[in-house]
């Protein structure tokens, strides 16, 4: 018996095993994202309309955000953000149109409306289109640094520093900090040093190992209760022709670096014509500070998993094999990958 040809298009036809074809999944997800973006656009514009109306005052609400939060059954901070974004869109027609059409996500619109002006929104919108949302904040921060007066930006960051906390329903307390770059660099360096100097141990009756986030929490508690006098930390700042940044890429103004330079111990790391750090070698077990600079600048992240946490300097091949420490044979590995690599090496030797 002859069968009728399928009316399904190749893009929507299921693949083998009953799974939807990749093209179908991508199209479906794209459609959901566009509809969600349009709904978010309508939501923030409606929030502004309601905030500008007298209805929330009639209900004796303290603010429009509180009234909307009760009505929508969400946190007040969420409705404040709806109103802020909606008001900003009213003076940013290009970003407003892009969000309305679903060309950018609500997450990108939130980030853009924090710094865009009618004069800069076109340039920033193009930058946002070329940048994933999870990388956009740092890209925008670099743009702000490059297009701002250093002293003015430093004053802005200093004025807007804050630490807040709130109690969660399970009794835990959530800390939220907005720190100027050099503050943040000093804090994260101290926490990382605290984790490195205090190896984790199994906890509880079943011996569960604490996560990295839990280890950072313990390091913060030790730092507050015991003080940081016994903790040696290092804050690395890169000063290049295209601007200054912390070791994790956070942009820093040149004027901030100038202020701390007189009281800092400065080392220079020289790059070759192609921008690669110059090799530094020595016959010793542990790498020198100069060698660490070279390897950290070259690798930046764990060469095995891409992590930026708890990075260590690993000999590859091992120092036991070569008896030397040269930068070409050193690699950044996070502590778990470093341990796994040596465990595998020990297992091979044992067999």
Q: Mean pLDDT throughout 267-290?
A: 64
Range in 8-22, 32-46, 308-322 the model is least confident about:
8-22
Residue 278 tokens, joined: 């110059």
Residue 1 tokens, joined: 């018996």
pLDDT in tens, 157-212: 999 999 999 898 999 999 999 999 999 998 998 898 888 888 888 888 888 889 98
Q: Which residue has the higher pLDDT, 204 or 234?
A: 204
Name the band, by pLDDT with cuts 50, 70 and 90, for residue 7: very low
Q: Which residue has the higher pLDDT, 273 or 212?
A: 212
Name the band, by pLDDT with cuts 50, 70 and 90, for residue 150: very high
- Predicted pLDDT at 99: 92
Continuous segment of H or E residues that includes residue 140: helix 133-146
- Predicted pLDDT at 122: 96
Percentage of the chain modeled with pLDDT above 70: 79
243-246: strand order across its sheet: 237-240, 243-246, 251-252
- Predicted pLDDT at 286: 72
- Predicted pLDDT at 343: 79
Q: Which residue has the higher pLDDT, 276 or 175?
A: 175
- Predicted pLDDT at 147: 93
Strands in the chain per DSSP E:
162-167, 173-178, 237-240, 243-246, 251-252, 281-282, 311-315, 325-326, 330-334
Range in 10-24, 99-113, 183-197, 233-247 the model is least confident about:
10-24
Per-chain mean pLDDT for the chain: 81
- Predicted pLDDT at 2: 37
pLDDT of 14 strictly over 50: no
pLDDT in tens, 64-106: 899 888 888 888 888 899 999 999 999 999 999 999 988 999 9
CA–CA distance, 342 with 145 (Å, rounded to integer)? 42
Is the preceding omega at residue 317 within 30 degrees of 0, hence cis?
Answer: yes
Phi and psi, residue 95, nearest 5° = -65, -40
Q: Which residue has the higher pLDDT, 304 or 248?
A: 304
- Predicted pLDDT at 268: 60
Phi and psi, residue 74, nearest 5° = -130, 175
CA dihedral 129, 130, 132, 135 (to 10 degrees): -110
């Amino acid at each position: 018996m002859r069968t009728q040809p399928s009316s399904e298009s190749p893009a929507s036809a299921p693949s083998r095993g009953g799974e939807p074809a990749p093209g179908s999944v991508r199209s479906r997800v794209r459609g959901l994202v566009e509809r969600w973006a349009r709904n978010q656009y309508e939501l923030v514009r409606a929030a502004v309309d309601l905030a500008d109306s007298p209805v929330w005052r009639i209900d004796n609400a303290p603010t429009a955000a509180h009234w909307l939060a009760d009505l929508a059954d969400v946190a007040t901070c969420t409705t404040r953000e709806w109103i802020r974004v909606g008001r900003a869109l009213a003076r940013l027609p290009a970003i407003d149109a892009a969000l309305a059409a679903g060309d950018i996500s609500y997450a990108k619109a939130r980030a853009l409306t924090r710094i865009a002006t009618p004069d800069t929104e076109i340039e920033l919108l193009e930058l946002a289109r070329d940048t994933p949302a999870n990388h956009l904040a740092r890209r925008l921060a670099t743009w702000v640094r490059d297009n701002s007066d250093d002293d003015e930006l430093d004053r802005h960051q200093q004025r807007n520093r804050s630490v807040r906390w709130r109690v969660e329903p399970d009794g835990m307390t959530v800390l939220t900090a907005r720190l100027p770059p050099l503050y943040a660099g000093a804090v994260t360096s101290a926490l990382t040093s605290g984790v490195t100097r205090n190896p984790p141990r199994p906890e509880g009756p079943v011996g569960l190992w604490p996560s990295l986030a839990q280890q950072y929490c313990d390091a913060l508690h030790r730092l507050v209760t015991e003080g940081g006098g016994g903790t040696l930390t290092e804050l690395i700042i890169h000063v290049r022709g295209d601007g200054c940044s912390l070791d994790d890429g956070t942009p820093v103004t040149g004027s901030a670096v100038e202020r701390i330079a007189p009281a800092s111990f400065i080392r220079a790391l020289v790059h070759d014509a192609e921008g690669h750090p110059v090799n530094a070698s020595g016959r010793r077990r542990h790498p020198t500070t100069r060698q660490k600079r070279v390897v950290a600048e070259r690798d930046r992240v764990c060469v095995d998993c891409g992590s930026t946490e708890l990075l260590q300097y690993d000999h590859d091949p091992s120092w036991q094999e070569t008896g030397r420490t040269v930068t070409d044979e050193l690699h950044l590995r996070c502590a778990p990958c470093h341990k796994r690599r040596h465990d595998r090496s020990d297992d091979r030797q044992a067999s």
